[in-house]
Amino acid sequence: VLSAINQMIARERDIDRVFEEACRIAVEIGGFRMVWVGLNDPVLGELRPVAYAGVAGDYLQSVHISLNDDERGRGPTGIALREGRHVLCHNFATDPRMGPWRDRALGLGYHSSAAFPLIVAGTVRGAFTLYAGVAEFFNDQEVRLLDGLAADISFAMEAAEAETARQQATAQLLQSEARFSSIFHGSPLAIGIGSYAAGGALIEVNPAWLRL
């Protein structure tokens, strides 16, 4: 699973596709019952599902994981978000933290889970949560690998945001250059641009300068 997802991240630049493919690969190759990615929504005060794969039914429409320290924020995923660490649930039937979700989860065949925070620039931005069809599924070795997987997805998020910021900066620069060009060439005033590096020589003049 880790290898397949890392290969996908290396070639995929659309972060929404990264989320979708990571979930799909984890289900199809890893055999998880369901996997989903959620991102923090400060306006709603909840974790907003953005991608999933596997048997989900209407679970994600009703999961309502709170970003706050309340009943719906004290499950494994909510704790992972607030504390920035992986959190396991080894048995949905007996774990008291699963109260708000237990019946629906067991009805869909979820018996254990592992939630991993997605951390970008030191801030928890969401979670990657995996559900298994048997209790006591997650061992130390798997958790270490999944920690690395969550870190790789977080890196992809950071790279995507950096690329978006670069594109926005480029667009703003082009707009600024176009605005300057319009003013420079359309001004009725004679404008000349000199360069100290060129010994004070003019390097560009506008049409009004030429007419003058």
Closest to 114 in 3D by CA, of 60, 30, 35, 4: 35
- CB atoms closer than 10 angstroms to residue 34: 25
Give the pLDDT of residue 64.
94
Q: Are 8 and 16 in contact (CB under 8 A)?
A: no
**What count of residues does the chain have?**
212
What is the token pair recorded at 188?
A: 């009725």
User: With bands split at pLDDT 50, 70 and 90, how would you rate the model's confidence at 39?
Assistant: very high
pLDDT score, position 180: 86
Residue-wise pLDDT tens digits, 88-124? 999 999 999 999 999 999 999 999 999 999 999 999 9
What is this structure's pTM?
0.78
| Radius of gyration of the chain, Cα coordinates, nearest whole angstrom | 26
CA pair distance 12, 157, nearest whole angstrom: 11
Residue 162: what pLDDT? Answer: 80
Cα–Cα–Cα angle for 60, 27, 8, nearest 5°?
A: 105
Contacts (Cβ under 8 Å, ≥6 apart) of 127? 37, 38, 47, 77, 80, 81, 115, 116, 117, 118
Cα within 13 Å of Cα(184), Cβ side:
11
pLDDT confidence band for 48 (50 / 70 / 90): very high
Q: Are 70 and 90 a contacting pair, CB within 8 Å?
A: no
pLDDT grade for 58, boundaries at 50, 70 and 90: very high
